[in-house]
Amino acid sequence: MEIKAREAVLISRILYNVYSIDDHREMRKTFLDLIPNLVQCSKASFYLGAADDDHFMDRPVGYCMSDELLDSYLAYDKYDYMNTVFLNSVTEVYRESDYFVDEVRNQSPYFKDLIEPNDMYYSVQMTLYASKILLGVVTLFRGKNDPDFSDHDLFLLRLMKDHLALRLSRNENASNQTTQGPDQRLLRLYESYNLTAREIEVLQLMLERYSNDEMADHLHVSHFTIQKHVSNIYKKLNINCKSQLFKLCSD
């Protein structure tokens, strides 16, 4: 396929921002703000691969999508019919309509409760992997009265997919190199209570007396996600409040 001069300029501008913006949340937000100029869409989301076992993805940013709507997906991510396609450890771009007929898709709770009420009828997804680890997923949406995404739209997105995967993998490597490991108390809890890596991060912030809002801001996740992590930590440690947590960690 041929690329137009205007499209080449837009792709260059988008990729410049992908590589030049250090903060990954700001980079993802900027990408979503620019991408509709290249590939028309009414809504878009950019999730990172989940750092725990509760979800495939978390830490979303959106274009024309409220935080509430972005968080709502987390309740359905394991029921998303596209999981069988994009959870295959390959960086690729997929058009939903190539894989599912309306008769099958329209009967799923994911479609009835989330997709249809928010007029996200057509979608195309970009899965970003490195060493078979899911780094992120970009999804562009169009309404029912819009045309489906074209082959040319997919072609343009595929020109950028490897760049985005590389950018996220560099960010992941930098985070792994600069993050301090947990102290001995946390290692003991991690080994004794089967906590996830993300739960250890949250637990460390709780012990440093961060509020839920502060933890959400620090970890670039939603308040809902933090509440779920805290609830899971309390359940695994068999405690009901922070005072019991501090006592457990001081023993």
CA gap 99, 97 in Å, rounded? 5
CA gap 142, 97 in Å, rounded? 12
What is the structure's pLDDT at 155?
97
* Per-residue model confidence as pLDDT tens for the chain (251 residues): 889 999 999 999 999 999 999 888 899 999 999 999 999 999 999 998 875 555 677 888 999 999 889 888 877 766 665 666 666 778 999 998 888 777 777 888 888 889 999 999 999 999 999 877 888 999 999 999 999 999 999 999 999 999 999 999 886 554 444 344 445 677 777 778 888 878 888 888 888 888 888 888 888 788 888 999 999 999 999 998 877 887 787 66
Name the class of domain 184-250. mainly alpha
Listed by start position, the domains of the chain span 5-177, 184-250
3-state helix, strand, coil in the chain (%, to 5): 55, 15, 30
CA gap 90, 88 in Å, rounded? 6
Comparing CA positions, the residue from 144, 137, 94 lying closest to residue 122 is 144
The CATH classification number of 5-177 equals 3.30.450.80
What is the structure's pLDDT at 102?
76
**Is residue 167 within a helix (H) or strand (E), and if so which, with residue range?**
helix 151-178
217-221 long-range contacts (CB < 8 A, ≥24 apart) are: 219/59, 220/24, 220/25, 220/59, 221/58, 221/59
CA gap 148, 97 in Å, rounded? 8
What is the structure's pLDDT at 34?
98
CA gap 47, 33 in Å, rounded? 15
Q: CB-based contacts of 174: which residues, under 8 Å, 6+ apart?
A: none
